[in-house]
Chain A
């Protein structure tokens, strides 16, 4: 039995173990890693900032290694290799003999020799421990700088800003990500980063890190300086090849064990894989090539197969930085290759796209996408597979409005050999096979059968397209059934409930479902029942999500927030005083929301009815902040005060908010009304936006803020108030009837075949002849409106539910609060 010793337990080391297990290798495997825990997902290291949960990042727990007969030794550093006698020794002087040695020592962050780097407050970004130290230090810091404006540096900057630090990025080159994107792209990216609140300093060489024991700032060679409390160095990586130097293994000029296409170092008994291996003078700082190298070694160890070789790897990348899409593929610059660049630079929407096409216009050579990288997967595939370009290559990056995905081609054009998931090396053919031959019908099934998308996850949108496409080609109708209890789509359920006049969940489950229901179908049916009958949501409270069940938004620590409706954001001084008094009496934290109302946090379950009693007495109504329903209609001050105002935007906002208050929908709904084109109410960032014009009003639909901001698009222009209301009635009802669960108006609208033009026909021209019906349905809902809180506090049976214990009147004794800035907060969980 061959003895394999693997040095290092990082991502690639783990992958090698996994592959050896999969291939049923008979070798006896020992893994020696210097970090205190088994290999974890370094690629998603930044996720640790969110929940500090190291377990989530773990590739496989210790038990996995044990269970598969792998001897995993952690917190042990290999300090020497004895090639003659084929053993390694560790820093505790333990000795391990090998037949084959695999070096998977990865790399460490490169720390440039700047004066003062040893000071407290200077960090690198590589391990969980690095993050822990950084987070601890960050608590007492107020600003941070990142040295290096590359892929990793920008990710570190995002992490710093999430730690609430004033953040700057310091880059030596004259632009960001100099290795991946060109000047124009760099400029746009800089603007986008600045929009996120990150300062970008370019062309700066750092000469000194200032401060006594702890750093206090940085000095640059041009004489300028920056006051800053901490520094994260992200200036590149250095392969960890120190073991090789001493053992006389060949080491590349720029570092890394020199390997051949079989991953053998200059000693054929010793392999090197991952970030410590230098293949043709190249270190691959990405995980996918490392996995490929692991496959090469696993094939040799398990199957004695020397045919499978490493041939280099594509370095295309998509930045997973939240908030800004950045991707580059192939050769983004083509500096020395004859080519035609085709680019668009849409400064208004912050989108830059460039593709490089060969002189014959037949092939893609590379490209850059910033601001909108939706087409990355498709373009990347076209590049890798050298697919023929469409007659007008510019169509690949220019979207005509309403069309989904500009890349002008569907997944059906991809050859079966196209590698879709590069992390796990899964081809389109593999995925199709799992669907056609093994009967897989959903994404989870594909993940289980092929492992596609289980790495970085970047390929999932494309995997999903392949799934839908293949199912469709097999004649299987792709149905989005709700869950195991109801074999229907949301729209079918809507019709079932309506046509058969179903009034309760239990009745529906009995007649059309099976089993005992679940957390997916119960709230969904609750929402449908409310959308169709506008009945009180509390009547069948236990099918509702907790927010709807207790008519308030649950927050950390089990307390709830209370949001009274303030239509259009207009409120009298007397009502303001009542809110203040109530907040004071129940010790509630108060905050002004983005929707122009006031959120009261920290209400205990038992207090909710008491709080609302006071609010309802003062004339407030439920704000439905807890429901998938109309939230607010935001307004600017409009013509009543503003010198630019054309019409009364506040009055109209109040009218519209009162019309649709309590309306239950597939997802939350927001509106806005602005008094002129200056758009102070940001109405186009809402599901519906109304903007005054000289001649009347423009009605925009399908906008939203959040993670994927979208501007609403014009449905009808220069229409009068009555028509606005008529179209809105129809639009909202059509959305409520046909959208998927939890789908907001923007994605719904995008998925509608025919897009906005189709919508215009249905709503404004009544092409389906359902206009009147939609308006009537809306009228019924409006007529049935009651304030849920008013009803709840006046019904003793309903009130009874607002207690934490059913056998005791006390509050939950485990709830803990602290005081900050004069208000009460829950303690962190």
Chain B
């Protein structure tokens, strides 16, 4: 799997992920779109939402949505820690923050009328 940091202008499809209340405060849950698993995080403390791939690149497990989220460093980089071995990834860039794992793909996300949408790049 190659990772990408998908940006807003690349988005071709906005996928409806669910109602805001489907995602626990300061936590995550995954959604299924076609055969893709996407982790959606509701980072209440800093009032932001994030979406990334659900697969942890370390042991190739569909698990990141169940990880603990937090911030790191003076820049307060938002991150998620994989429940298995505590590999942490930036929720903004997808970069692995504590090792040399591959980066993870991140997706743009938006909230409209309490509905969560994840922006995907689909080949036409």
Contacts and interface: CB of A to CB of B under 8 A. Distances in A.
Interface of A: 55, 484-485, 506, 509, 515-519, 521-523, 541-546, 549-550, 554, 556-558, 801, 803-808, 810, 812-815, 829
Contact of B59 (A485, A517, A829): A829
B2 interface: no
Nearest to A505: B26
A543 B60 CA distance: 23
Interface string B17-61: 110001111111111100101001001011000000000000111
A516 B78 contact: yes
Interface residues of B, number: 41
Contact of B45 (A484, A506, A521, A554): A506
Contacts of B69: 516-517, 542
A813 B36 CA distance: 10
A521 B71 CA distance: 11
Contact of B43 (A485, A516, A519): A516
Interface in B61-102: 61-63, 66-73, 76, 78-79, 81, 83-84, 86, 88, 100
Contacts of B27: 541-542
Contacts of B35: 813
Contact of A808 (B32, B67, B68, B76): B32
Interface of B: 17-18, 22-32, 35, 37, 40, 43, 45-46, 59-63, 66-73, 76, 78-79, 81, 83-84, 86, 88, 100
A544 B68 CA distance: 7
B107 to A, nearest CB: 15
A518 B79 contact: yes
A519 B25 CA distance: 15
A516 B31 contact: no
A687 B72 CA distance: 35
A521, A556, A801, A814 — which one has the most chain B CB atoms within 10 A of its CB? Answer: A814
B32 A519 contact: no
B30 A806 contact: yes
A804 B66 CA distance: 9
A516 B76 contact: yes
14 contacts: A515-B71, A515-B76, A518-B70, A518-B71, A518-B79, A518-B81, A522-B68, A542-B25, A542-B69, A545-B83, A807-B22, A812-B62, A815-B62, A829-B60
Contacts of B17: 806-807
A546 B66 contact: yes
Q: Which one of A541, A546, A557 has the greatest number of beta carbons of chain B within 10 Å?
A: A546
A746 B75 CA distance: 39
Contacts of B59: 556, 829
A363 B76 CA distance: 54
A543 B66 CA distance: 11
B49 to A, nearest CB: 13
A558 B54 CA distance: 12
Contacts of B73: 484
A517 B31 contact: no
Given A516-B71, A806-B40, A807-B31, 13 more contacts: A515-B70, A516-B78, A517-B45, A519-B70, A519-B81, A522-B68, A522-B70, A542-B25, A542-B26, A544-B68, A804-B62, A805-B32, A806-B17
B88 A805 contact: no
A155 to B, nearest CB: 25
A517 B70 contact: yes
A804 B30 contact: yes
A516 B62 contact: no
A523 B68 CA distance: 9
A805 B30 contact: yes
Contacts of A803: 29
A543 B68 contact: yes
A817 B11 CA distance: 36
Contact of B18 (A517, A806, A815): A806
A601 to B, nearest CB: 16
A806 to B, nearest CB: 4
A707 to B, nearest CB: 18
B79 A814 contact: no
A807 B27 CA distance: 16
Given A519-B81, A805-B32, A806-B30, A545 B68 contact: yes
Centre residue among B32, B63, B70, B72 by max chain A CB count within 10 A: B70
B43 to A, nearest CB: 7
B30 A519 contact: no
Contacts of A544: 68
B83 A55 contact: no
Nearest to B29: A806
B84 A554 contact: yes
A516 B61 contact: no
B62 A543 contact: no
B48 to A, nearest CB: 9
Contacts of A815: 62
Nearest to B25: A542
Contact of A519 (B26, B37, B88): B88
A55 B72 contact: no
Nearest to A809: B32
Nearest to A557: B61
Nearest to A53: B58
Nearest to B59: A829
A114 to B, nearest CB: 42
B61 A558 contact: yes
A108 B97 CA distance: 39
Contacts of A521: 70
B62, B68, B69, B84: most-surrounded residue (chain A CB, <10 A): B68
Contacts of A807: 17-18, 22, 31-32
What 9 A-B pairs come out closest when comparing CB atoms? Answer: A542-B27, A518-B70, A516-B71, A519-B81, A546-B83, A806-B29, A519-B68, A806-B22, A515-B71
